[in-house]
Every structure is written in structure tokens, then in C-alpha cells.
Amino acid sequence: MESKIKNAAIISLLLLLIWIIPTVFLMQQIKPTWTDFDFLTWSSQPDIFYLTYFIIATLITIMSVVLFTFIYIYISQMNKCYAVLGMIFIPIYGILNLIGYSIQISVVPSIATKALSTSENILFASQLIMSNAFSIIDFISGLAYFTLGIPSIIYGYILMKNLKKKSGFSLLISGILHIIGIIGYMLQNEILTAGTFLGVVVFIIVLVFLIFEFRKKKFFKES
């Protein structure tokens, strides 16, 4: 199981590093002064970076579910009760994120185009754009990472207690940041909301530690 965790971490890390490229281009396009109309105009004609961003993000979500499932199996040998408790939230994270990302690719462009042409439902359509801060779909994305934050904290703590200290500690911190992010959304606080993005950044560090720490000697006999 350790080798599966390591391999899943490698694939996840590569996807995240590739994901950074369209992210940089997209963030440069979005301006703080944009209105709902601006967001609709931008998303009605998605470019290659827009599509790549959400396609890779979808793959990252799938690999995260796989990785956390492997970690669940691994730590079940140490603490079955808490492992199951954390696992409850992992499919929820996957479903919420996949819904959000798929909507950006398949639904938002057509809805944005229609709203712009008819000047109707502009507010509703803009609420479906994930890059529009504090939109409904942005909240769903934050909620997805909040649900991932719970098993991150649980699994991180268990890994820390069982000789995977760097992986465990960084995973725990990532989970805390995800939870801070959703609190920031509810308070409409941009600084706290950044916790979600910072949680993803820290998760890159988690993956690096997983790759190296799960190459070491096995301390628990696998079933």
C-alpha cells in the first residue's frame, strides 16, 4: 500500500505542477474591478487556458480521491474508527468538486452567452462562474475543500503519530487552511478565503513528503 500511496502522490504532484501554468494565465486575465457582466463575457468564450485549468483540476480531484482512499486503507491498520470517519467526507469532496468543474466546462459558456444576448438572468449566470469570488459555485468549491479538510486533519494527525511526521504535519496544516477558507467565504473575508488556495499550495508540499516518506522502511504489516 505504501508504494500505491507514493505513486498516487507522484501523479497528483505532476498534475498540480502542470495545473499551475493555466492558473497563472487565468489569474492575469481576471481584474479586481470586474462586474458580473465582465465575468460572463470572459467565460462565454473560454480559451485554451480556461478549459485546460478545469480539465486538469478535474483530474486532480479524481487523483486526490484515489490518494486519500489509499491513505485510508493504510491508516486503517492503525486506527480503524478514525480512518472510517475521515473516509466519509472524501466522496463528498469528489462529488462537489466534479460538479463544480464540469459545470464550468459544459454549462457556463452557453448560459453566459444566452444571458449576455438577452440581458436576462445575468446575476444568476454569474453565480455559476467559479472564478467569480463569493459566487454560489465558488462556495460549493470551498465547501468541497472544507470536506477534504476534515480527513486531512484526521489522517494527518494519525500519520504524525505513526512515523510519517512531515507528511502528517503538512497534511494537517493543509486541512486547517481549507477550513479557514470556507469560514472566510461565510464572513465575506477575502484574506481568510485565501485559505482554500493556500491549502492547495501546502498540499503540494504534502505530496512531496508523501513521495519521500513512503519510500522508507515499512513500520506496519499490511493486511
Q: Using an 8 Å Cβ cutoff, are 130 and 104 in contact?
A: yes
Nearest to 171 by CA among 154, 152, 158: 152
What distance in Å separates the CA atoms of residue 114 and residue 43, rounded to the nearest whole number?
12
Indicate whether 39 belongs to any domain: yes
Indicate whether 218 belongs to any domain: no
b/e burial code for range 107-130 (CB count within 10 A of at least 16 → b): ebbebbbebeeeeeebeebbbbbb
Could you give the maximum distance between any two Cα atoms of the chain, in Å?
64
Indicate whether 51 belongs to any domain: yes
How many domains, the chain? 1
What distance in Å separates the CA atoms of residue 73 and residue 46, rounded to the nearest whole number?
40
Indicate whether 50 belongs to any domain: yes
Indicate whether 219 belongs to any domain: no
What distance in Å separates the CA atoms of residue 159 and residue 44, rounded to the nearest whole number?
45
Q: Is the dihedral of CA 175, 69, 83, 206 positive or negative?
A: negative
Express each pLDDT in 80-128 by its tens digit.
Answer: 889 999 999 999 999 999 999 999 988 999 999 999 988 888 888 999 9
Nearest to 157 by CA among 175, 130, 183: 175
Indicate whether 27 belongs to any domain: yes
Mean pLDDT of the chain: 89
CB contact set of 18 (below 8 Å; sequence gap of 6+): 56
Average pLDDT over residues 200-212: 93
Indicate whether 220 belongs to any domain: no
Express each pLDDT in 173-185 by its tens digit.
Answer: 999 999 999 998 8
Indicate whether 133 belongs to any domain: yes
DSSP 138: H
* The model's pTM: 0.87
| Domain of residue 87, residue span | 2-213
Q: Using an 8 Å Cβ cutoff, are 137 and 97 in contact?
A: no
Q: Kindly tell me if the per-residue pLDDT of 11 is higher than 90.
A: yes
